[in-house]
Amino acid sequence: MEELTSYAKRRGFVFQASEIYGGLGGFWDLGPYGAELADNIKASWWKEFVYKNANVVGVNTTIIQNPKLWKASGHIDTFVDPMVDCKECKHRFRADHVAGIDTNDLKKLDEKLKETACPNCGARHSFTPARTFQMMFKTYVGPIEDDANVSYLRPETAGGIFAQYENVRETTRKKLPFGIAQIGKAFRNEITPGDFIFRLRELTQMELEFFTKPKEAAKQYEFWKDYCMQWLLSLGLNKENLRFHDHADDERAHYAEASVDVQYNYPFGFKELYGIANRTDYDLSAHAKQSGKDLTYFDEETGERFMPYVIEPSVGVERLLMAVMLDAYDEEEVNGEKRVVMRFAPHIAPVKVAVLPLSKKPELSKLSQKVFSEIAGEYNVEYDETQSIGKRYRRQDEIGTPYCVTVDFDSLNDDSVTVRERDSMKQERIKISELKSYLSAKLFV
Ligand code: GAP
């Protein structure tokens, strides 16, 4: 993890937020390549989940909502994590992590903690009783900081979707089954953020709430479970590093009847990457009760009225970005030298093409800039004329650029350039007039 963290910084993928002030636990910024990679992942998700499904539409709801929404959803009362302190060294921990059991049951945790040594100082019988901690960030809306004006930064993007369910259904005239998708920030005051960008306090979620007839919920759950796995594989993730993990009763969120994680094999073991849950009619029923609005659905075919069930696939962009980086990282020996190469799938690579004049001679720069202008605009293209061509190839390999275009002295006479493919390092001579369509075909197959 240390190697990945320092690599991600050195190559401009991820920086500690407010680093010049010593950082802030659980907050990370995306640098130029990280931001591109994240945007490409988000674009791929949106295409796959929204554009490819005629019955899915997207929304963009606010981070701060009426706090009644979080009361209804159960987050005010139950979105809590158990924590303990070591009385010896004063370190604070997630009680379930130290105890090594996946539960929020305080009694069970206390029992287990009696036999557990403090991971920081090794003291025994030193833990305080486990207690719960509210994970939503609190804020005040308006100038007066009193209880009447308390609100929260959303802990999941789903809340806004449920609150707009009826507006979306009416305006789009959708019939069940249909889905509402959203990509946006979520905030969780995690007790122990860490493992680089695995557990954050500010994260980005890509969530689909798929509304279905209750009797079709189990079938839809299986469908979306498989759909998520296929999409992860399409990003280039290695099948062997992915597996399903079904949740036991005490692992499930307060709203879920069934849930499964797609886990990724991180350096610290298989851990949750993607969560898929059957949220039943929990949310719509709770919002109907709290708001007094009828959110039931009338099925014209059967004449029945009922509350729809919801299947929810949800994934964090940063956690996925980390998995994608870990999976893409490769080292090999070429002519006796180590080559580091990020084998990103071309459609998500942060830089798609680098234009590299063989030398800084004005006539080459002029033609190279013309080549750059011809292909730039639709995807991220870099222009680099510093250092030797070998070093520039290595630099592009290290950020995972699938194609390098070299403009050399022959280009001045034959109107052609050399295109080098990242993985095979094979080179091909291509006419400048055909370069744009050649690259598009390779990049977006
Ligand atoms: N709406 C359902 C929901 O939020 P979750 O399992 O708590 O469910 C869904 O979160 C996904 O969001 C996780 O699978 C993970 O990818 C990401 N995620 C959750 N908490 C995170 C955190 N603190 N840091 C980074 N990603 C997180």
Q: What is the pLDDT of residue 248?
A: 87
Query: Which two tokens mark 203?
Result: 């994260």
Instruction: State which ligand 1 atom lies nearest to the alpha carbon of 320.
Output: 16
Q: Which residues line the pocket of ligand 1, CB cutoff 6 A?
A: 156, 158, 188, 190, 199-200, 203, 205, 207, 272-275, 312, 314-316, 318-319
Cβ-proximal residues to 362 (8 Å cutoff; 6+ apart), any chain: none
Q: Which atom of ligand 1 is nearest to the CA of 272?
A: 14
**Among residues 352, 351, 373, which one has the least CA distance to residue 443?**
352
Q: From the alpha carbon of 259, which atom of ligand 1 is closest?
A: 6
Q: pTM, whole model, 2 decimals? A: 0.94
pLDDT of residue 231: 98
In the reported structure, the alpha carbon of residue 275 is separated from the centroid of ligand 1 by a whole-number distance in angstroms of: 7
**What pLDDT does residue 445 have?**
64
Series of mean pLDDT values for 10-residue runs along the chain (445 residues): 93 98 98 98 98 98 97 92 93 92 89 94 94 94 94 98 98 97 97 94 98 97 98 98 92 85 97 97 97 97 97 98 97 92 97 97 96 96 95 97 98 97 97 96 84
- Tell me the pLDDT tens digit for each residue of 137-175: 999 999 999 999 999 999 999 999 999 999 999 999 999
pLDDT at residue number 137: 97
Ligand 1 geometric centre to CA of 79 (Å):
12
Amino acid at the residue 109: L
Closest CA to 354 of 400, 388, 387: 400
User: What pLDDT is attached to residue 89?
Assistant: 95
Alpha carbon of 97 to ligand 1 centroid (Å): 16
* Closest CA to ligand 1's atom 6: 275
Q: Measured on CA atoms in the order 252, 256, 257, 262, is the torsion positive or negative?
A: negative
pLDDT score, position 254: 80
Q: If you take atom 14 of ligand 1, which residue's CA is the nearest one?
A: 274
**Buried/exposed 328-355: b ≥16 CB within 10 Å, e otherwise:** bbeeeeeeeeeeebbbbbbbbbbbbbbb
